[in-house]
């Protein structure tokens, strides 16, 4: 892999993936609807290039693939919020399904030997009968977000079977880390920091704490995805996760244990989702067979998240903070093959 395009490259998973690839010597272009190439939580980012791109714009997607000629497209661009998918399912389908279709068509017609690594979701399985859930389990999505990911997942399979396009289908279970918003770990941490600062009452408002979730550190998750592209079988689906179900209640307890102030827990019915699987755990045997093992301890993940929120001036993700390092190879500058805006700098 010499050249990679990372769609959604200014988002949570995309930003960590682009930094991992750049550190491993890959020539990286990030693409996102946002005008800047790096999210605010990455300080001193590795040098990559950024392209402003809306994946729902068919002509723009075809131009990008034709000009960039990537060896691999890591496709993270999408509408990723479950609650938002209920409010606007049409937007969710347009971005997640149509955007994926545009990429597949662009690759088929322009770069048929280039790979597409599609960021699907473990929620595609819905409420599976078998837990841990293997990749062979039927898809039974219970939300507009999950069904849009399942539809795009099957599109990728169709293009592998019908057109021979090398695709890798990730079914990503929970990921977390510094910079994420909207998940339980960061929601709890942000509330704790506001309470520590006296900006909010000494409490953490919660939904259903009895859920159990497979949650991986984002730095491990992107390593796993790169490994799949390097060693996996095109056309196959791969669960991406930590392989362990963690009770949300226990996560909250661990974060409260790291707090500098006493806190009470308050149940908030507005935080309870209408569809919320009791256990969400992927069977990651296929991933382990490729040689993957997690490297970041979960307590360290929670500590890093809490310190991230403490580093922000107002409890909101608007200021740059350093992303804690992980096991990356030394960086090698990109080769500069295409004239798009340069962002970031070396360490």
Calculate mean pLDDT across residues 160-187: 96
Mean pLDDT of the residues in the chain: 89
What's the rounded Cα separation, in Å, for the pair 293 and 274? Answer: 34
Which residues, including other chains, have CB under 8 Å from residue 88's CB and lie 6 or more apart? none
> Can you list the domains of the chain with their CATH numbers?
3-180+216-243+281-296+317-343 (3.40.50.720)
pLDDT score, position 36: 64
**Quick one: how far is CA 116 from the chain centroid?**
15
Q: Who contacts 346 (Cβ-Cβ below 8 Å, separation ≥6)? A: 44, 46, 47, 331, 333
Per-residue model confidence as pLDDT tens digits over 242-267: 999 999 999 999 999 999 999 999 99
Going by pLDDT thresholds of 50, 70 and 90, the confidence category of residue 38 is: low
Q: Cα(345)–Cα(148) distance, rounded to whole angstroms?
A: 36
pLDDT at 81 over 60: yes
Global pTM reads 0.88
């Amino acid at each position: 892999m010499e050249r990679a395009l990372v769609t959604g490259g200014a988002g949570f998973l995309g930003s960590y993936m682009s930094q991992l690839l750049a550190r491993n010597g890959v020539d990286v272009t990030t693409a996102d609807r946002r005008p800047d190439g790096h999210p605010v939580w990455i300080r001193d980012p590795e040098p990559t290039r950024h392209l402003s791109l809306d994946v729902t714009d068919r002509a723009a997607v075809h131009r990008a693939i034709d000009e960039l000629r990537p060896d691999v497209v890591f496709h993270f661009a999408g509408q990723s919020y479950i609650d938002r998918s209920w409010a606007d399912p049409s937007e969710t389908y347009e971005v997640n399904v149509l955007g994926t279709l545009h990429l597949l068509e662009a690759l088929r017609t322009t770069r048929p030997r280039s790979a597409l690594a599609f960021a699907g979701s473990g929620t595609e399985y819905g409420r599976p009968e078998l837990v841990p859930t293997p990749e062979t389990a039927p898809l039974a999505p219970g939300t507009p977000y999950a069904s849009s990911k399942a539809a795009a997942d099957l599109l990728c399979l169709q293009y592998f079977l019908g057109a021979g396009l090398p695709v890798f289908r990730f079914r990503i279970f929970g990921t977390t880390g510094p910079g994420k918003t909207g998940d339980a770990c960061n929601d709890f941490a942000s509330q704790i920091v506001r309470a520590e600062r006296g900006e909010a009452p000494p409490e953490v408002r919660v939904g259903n704490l009895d859920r159990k979730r497979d949650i991986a550190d984002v730095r491990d998750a992107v390593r796993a995805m790169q490994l799949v592209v390097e060693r996996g079988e095109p056309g196959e689906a791969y669960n991406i996760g930590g392989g362990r179900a963690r009770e949300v209640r226990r996560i909250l307890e661990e974060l409260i244990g790291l707090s500098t102030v006493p806190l009470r827990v308050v149940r908030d019915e507005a935080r309870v989702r209408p569809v919320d699987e009791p256990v969400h755990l992927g069977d990651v045997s296929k991933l382990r067979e490729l040689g993957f093992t997690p490297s970041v301890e979960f307590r360290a993940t929670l500590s890093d998240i809490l310190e991230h929120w403490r580093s922000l001036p107002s409890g909101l993700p608007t200021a740059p903070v350093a992303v804690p390092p992980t096991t990356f190879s030394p960086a090698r500058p990109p080769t500069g093959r295409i004239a798009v805006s340069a962002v970031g700098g070396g360490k």
